[in-house]
Amino acid sequence: MIDVIKGLYEVALERKGTKQEGSYTCYLFEQGLDKILKKCGEECSEVIIAAKNGKNEDTANEICDLLYHLIVMMVESGISMDEVEEILEQRRQKIGNLKKFHVSDHES
């Protein structure tokens, strides 16, 4: 999966650098960060609704929409894949992340 995501990031970077006729990614970059963030918000809500509806195929599709728009947002904001990967890798070293207040929230 990480290779597909990295590939998508590369395509988005390319679209940011070179305008291409009929490209939805170029359209998003032209519209700017606010539009991209709006789409991230919409797609996030659609993931939640699909998950709540319990149809995994629909949810998986919405997750793909969200991932795509997050990647466009990363490119627009200048956040690299390596940056995110490094944070995920650091977190992977840590276990036992449940905080005490989470436990008491759960119990109450």
Ligand X SMILES: N=c1c2ncn([C@@H]3O[C@H](COP(=O)(O)OP(=O)(O)OP(=O)(O)O)[C@@H](O)[C@H]3O)c2ncn1[C@@H]1O[C@H](COP(=O)(O)O)[C@@H](O)[C@H]1O
> Nearest CA to 63 among 39, 46, 79?
46
The minimum distance between CB 52 and ligand X, in angstroms, equals 18
Q: Does 15 bind ligand X (CB under 6 A)?
A: yes
Between the alpha carbon of residue 60 and those of residues 39, 65, 68, 89, the distances in Å are: 17, 9, 12, 24
Q: Does 61 bind ligand X (CB under 6 A)?
A: no
Tell me which DSSP letter residue 97 carries. Answer: -
72 contacts: CB under 8 Å, gap ≥ 6: 12, 25, 28, 29, 36, 39
The minimum distance between CB 43 and ligand X, in angstroms, equals 7
Among 29, 50, 68, 75, binds ligand X (CB under 6 A): 68
For residue 6, the tally of other CB atoms under 10 A from its CB is 14
**Residue span binding ligand X (CB under 6 A) among the ranges 23-31, 52-60, 74-82, 91-99:** 23-31
Among 9, 25, 47, 66, binds ligand X (CB under 6 A): 25
Q: Does 23 bind ligand X (CB under 6 A)?
A: yes
Among 58, 65, 73, 79, binds ligand X (CB under 6 A): 65
